[in-house]
């Protein structure tokens, strides 16, 4: 009598075991479309039976805060750029095939801002305070399968407790969402870690560490196969291992593969491999996961700074916040692609993700484009900061370990990441045992998850915290400091075993010379690469520290940095806006009051041997490189209408030129699209710039007309913007005031083929127009 239940149990186990063997590999379903949204709080909205018929229909990523309106009294304050905070609800109805009923089902969020709660069919899955960290919940056991069976995922995002950030955060499900259906025997979430050792041009050892979950109720004997695919698409190596995994448990399997003549990842040729991991049970594939990685040797040395594949390189980096200007925190990939390319063209090779976890696709771009990344976790530990008193400091004690673990596990396969930072300008006491403990526990956790990269933090006024004397700095893998380059230099010179890097620096000659002239300085990260929303006092709503403004136009400090950092020959000429050196620097030859403008002070940035200045074809003299090989070249000339021209030469050959012409009265609008085509997917955009010019097409920087954009065809205006840091006009509009003679419209497609026609009109100006072709090609995602 007692044997029958045992026999029944055996049959059940065999059935489950066989079923696990024949299930298909994982399915990854894009879960961005067809959500319902309600701005505000709503009792009972987590319940399956809740009626959301009147809610707004939209797709995510979605940032509801960027929709405005601006208001000086918004509780986000200067940090949030005076845009609204509050609560938002999202709901999505979906069905699942009966074929998925025996799989494990998961939902992945790349980021929800902030304090998110998630429910499936009324069951609470969990809460996540940090809006930047990616997370996953398992839905298995709470789902309905089959025709006519509905499931409801509900998300409540709450950033109503303010001020919570020193910069703009956005609000809502502002990053991508995926649904995963996997065999009960599968590679764990973020369970594939690929690292490389003994890297040379001849060969390299690739180590693949895989965590395999067996969520079935029986032991499983698996074959774990890893195929290595070279950048050109050819399989160059394969390895497999067998392992028995007990029921409802997991195992970590480590495999090593030797790669002959590897294609190395570096900043000039960022070549990427793929590791295709397969789990095979009884000769049937149960799971497959592709992991992108790069083969490279990156290290920091105390005496000589940073090395990549045997080459000594200065990290010429910038800090970036996560917003994309007019699109807010929900940033299409093309926005980042455009921004990163502009930075690369200016000579930038490094990015610091200040001061939070970046979107995964952002790091993918850094891999593909060849940037060196400092991956930063937190802006605060326990001690609060002004204008962000209700920020992560409220959650650090309970969440630092989970958040840090998830950040490192998600990001450790990116070859672009060369160092982690576990804090920015931390205000906790670093001169006592508690400060030591907090630093060490985070650094130790990172090391336990990723042994291949060092850890730093961005020290804040170390002379006051005494970290260079009390021993804390000696515990850091690499000592990072914000600003005060002389202090960091002195810290190294007092202890030459310290590896050092500038974690935040100004766009100043002294900062550049500290990096250029000190071999032990590994790099620096300028504040910032792009202007960003928030951290500005009213009437300002954005912070203007970027090499580029929020519309993508390069600022004067950008050209200065380009003259120091870029190898491409360049020249950039500007004048003082007022007579005899008064006012700001401006790059035009059209004084506001020509009758009183007489003495023009000229400054030229260039990385070339010689620059010669011409006014209306007559030379004003040539100047060679300054003694420090970095300062601008200057002239004082008498103003004349016409053409100011700077000609740069290397070894006597003209390699770069720039002309400035005196503009007439505003006459027309010229529209230019930054690329000719756009794909019909969320990630693609085209920037269309409206420039007010005179009859000859010369830009009129003093023009401030209100520009009205029009659009026909399979596209729409996603946002408009200008460079004004105090503009509180709505981004979701068809109108924008020109600022310094220009403004932009960001265009998206909403059809699969055809021509999008854009117009721009303003009072007393001739209409401008441009066309964009919609391309029906593969999506970014």
Residues 6+ apart with CB under 8 A from 445: 401, 404, 405, 408
Beta strands in 577-701 (DSSP E): 585-586, 599-606, 610-615, 618-624, 633-638, 643-650, 653-661, 668-673, 677-679, 686-693
| Residue among 337, 361, 425, 612 flagged as catalytic | 425
| Sign, Cα dihedral of 569, 574, 580, 581 | negative
479-482 and 455-459 strand pairing: parallel
The Cα 443–Cα 439 span in angstroms is 6
Q: With both helix axes pointing from N to C terminus, report the angle between 333-345 and 360-369 in degrees, rounded to the nearest 10.
A: 40
765-775 and 500-504 strand pairing: unpaired
The Cα 564–Cα 631 span in angstroms is 9
CA-based radius of gyration for the chain: 28
Q: Are 550 and 723 in contact (CB under 8 A)?
A: yes
Question: Residue 155 in 3-state DSSP?
Answer: strand
| Residue among 288, 361, 504, 612 flagged as catalytic | 504
The Cα 356–Cα 379 span in angstroms is 7
Q: Are 101 and 19 in contact (CB under 8 A)?
A: no
Q: With both helix axes pointing from N to C terminus, report the angle between 509-517 and 556-565 in degrees, rounded to the nearest 10.
A: 20
Which residue bears the tokens 């992560």? 392
The Cα 554–Cα 342 span in angstroms is 8
315-320 and 523-526 strand pairing: parallel
| 626-632-636-642 Cα dihedral, nearest 10 degrees | 120
Neighbours of 346 (CB within 10 A): 24
* 504 in catalytic set: yes
DSSP assignments along 287-335, one per residue:
EEEEEEE-B--EEEETTTEEEETTEEE-EEEEEE-S--GGGTTS--HHH
* 508 in catalytic set: no
Beta strands in 705-750 (DSSP E): 706-712, 715-721, 735-737, 742-749
Q: How many helices (H) and strands (E) does the chain have?
A: 11, 47
CA angle 514, 520, 522 (to 5 degrees): 80
- What letter does residue 65 receive in the DSSP assignment? G
The Cα 296–Cα 299 span in angstroms is 10
DSSP assignments along 542-604, one per residue:
EE---SB-TTSPBPHHHHHHHHHH--S--EEEEEESSGGG-S-EES-S--S-TTT--EEEEEE
Cα distances (Å, whole numbers) of residue 241 to 25, 30, 209, 213, 222: 19, 32, 12, 15, 8
The Cα 669–Cα 717 span in angstroms is 18
The Cα 600–Cα 647 span in angstroms is 18
β-sheet bridge partners, residue 37: 56, 90
The Cα 288–Cα 28 span in angstroms is 11
Give the pair of three-digit tokens for residue 694: 């005179």
The Cα 430–Cα 465 span in angstroms is 6
Q: Which amino acids are annotated catalytic?
A: 425, 504
């Amino acid at each position: 009598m007692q044997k029958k239940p045992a026999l029944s149990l055996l049959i059940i186990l065999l059935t489950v075991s066989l079923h696990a063997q024949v299930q298909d590999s994982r399915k990854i379903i894009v879960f961005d479309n067809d959500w319902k949204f309600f701005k505000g709080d709503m009792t009972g909205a987590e319940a399956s039976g809740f009626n959301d018929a009147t809610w707004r229909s939209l797709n995510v990523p979605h940032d509801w805060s960027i929709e405005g309106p601006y208001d000086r009294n918004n509780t986000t304050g200067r940090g949030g750029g005076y845009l609204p905070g509050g609560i938002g609800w999202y709901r999505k109805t979906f069905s699942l095939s009966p074929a998925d009923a025996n799989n494990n089902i998961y939902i992945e969020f790349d980021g929800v801002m902030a304090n998110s709660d998630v429910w499936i069919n009324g069951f609470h899955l969990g809460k996540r305070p940090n809006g930047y960290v990616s997370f996953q919940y398992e839905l298995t056991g709470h789902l309905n399968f089959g025709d006519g069976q509905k499931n409801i995922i509900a998300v409540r995002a709450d950033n109503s407790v303010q001020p919570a950030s020193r910069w703009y955060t956005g609000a809502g499900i502002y990053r991508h969402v995926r649904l995963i259906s996997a065999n009960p025997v599968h590679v764990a979430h973020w369970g594939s870690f690929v690292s490389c050792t003994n890297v040379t041009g001849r060969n390299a050892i690739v180590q693949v560490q895989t965590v395999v979950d067996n969520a079935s109720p029986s032991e499983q004997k698996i074959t774990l196969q890893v195929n290595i695919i070279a950048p050109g698409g050819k399989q160059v190596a394969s390895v497999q291992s067998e392992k028995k995994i007990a029921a409802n448990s997991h195992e970590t399997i480590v495999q090593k593969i030797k790669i002959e003549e590897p294609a190395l990842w570096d900043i000039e040729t960022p070549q990427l491999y793929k590791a295709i991991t397969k789990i095979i049970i009884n000769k049937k594939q149960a799971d497959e996961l592709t992991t992108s990685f790069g083969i490279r040797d990156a290290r920091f040395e105390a005496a000589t700074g940073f090395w990549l594949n045997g080459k000594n390189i200065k990290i010429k980096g910038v800090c970036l916040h996560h917003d994309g200007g007019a699109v807010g925190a929900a940033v299409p990939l093309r926005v980042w692609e455009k921004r990163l390319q502009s930075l690369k063209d200016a000579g930038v090779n490094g990015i610091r993700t200040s001061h939070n976890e970046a979107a995964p696709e952002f790091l993918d771009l850094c891999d593909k484009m060849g940037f060196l990344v400092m991956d930063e976790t937190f802006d605060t530990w326990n001690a609060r900061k002004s204008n962000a008193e209700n920020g992560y400091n409220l959650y650090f004690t309970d969440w630092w370990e989970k958040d840090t673990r998830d950040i490192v596990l998600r990001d450790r396969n990116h070859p672009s990441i060369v160092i982690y930072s576990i804090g920015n300008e931390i205000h906790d006491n670093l001169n006592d045992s508690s400060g030591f403990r907090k630093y060490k526990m985070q650094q130790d956790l990172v090391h336990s998850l990723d042994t291949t990269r060092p850890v730093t933090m961005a020290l804040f006024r170390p002379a006051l915290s005494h970290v260079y004397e009390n021993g804390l700095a000696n515990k850091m893998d690499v000592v990072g400091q914000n600003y005060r380059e002389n202090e960091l230099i002195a810290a190294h010179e007092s202890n030459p075993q310290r590896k050092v890097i500038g974690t935040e620096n100004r766009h100043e000659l002294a900062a550049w010379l500290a990096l250029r002239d000190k071999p032990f300085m590994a790099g620096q990260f300028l504040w910032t690469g792009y202007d960003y929303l928030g951290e500005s006092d009213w009437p300002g709503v954005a912070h203007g520290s970027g090499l580029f403004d929020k519309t993508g136009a390069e600022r004067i400090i950008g050209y200065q940095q380009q003259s120091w950092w870029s190898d491409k020959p360049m020249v950039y000429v500007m004048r003082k806006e007022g007579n005899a050196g008064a006012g700001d620097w401006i790059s035009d030859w059209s004084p506001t009051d020509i009758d009183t403008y007489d003495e023009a002070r000229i400054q030229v940035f260039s990385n070339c041997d010689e620059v010669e200045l011409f006014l209306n074809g007559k030379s004003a003299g040539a100047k060679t490189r300054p003694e420090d090989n970095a300062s601008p070249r200057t002239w004082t000339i008498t103003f004349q209408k016409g053409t100011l021209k700077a000609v740069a030469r290397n070894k006597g050959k003209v390699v770069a030129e720039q002309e400035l012409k005196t503009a007439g009265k505003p006459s027309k609008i010229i529209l230019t699209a930054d690329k000719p085509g756009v794909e019909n997917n969320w990630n693609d955009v085209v920037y269309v710039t409206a420039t007010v010019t005179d009859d000859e097409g010369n830009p009129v920087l003093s023009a401030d007309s209100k520009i009205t954009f029009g659009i026909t065809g399979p596209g729409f205006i996603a946002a408009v913007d200008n460079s004004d840091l105090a503009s509180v006009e709505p981004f979701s509009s068809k109108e924008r005031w020109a600022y310094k003679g220009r403004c932009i419209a960001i265009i998206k497609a909403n059809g699969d083929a055809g021509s999008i026609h854009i117009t721009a009109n303003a009072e007393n100006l001739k209409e401008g127009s441009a066309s964009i072709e919609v391309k029906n090609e593969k999506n970014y995602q």
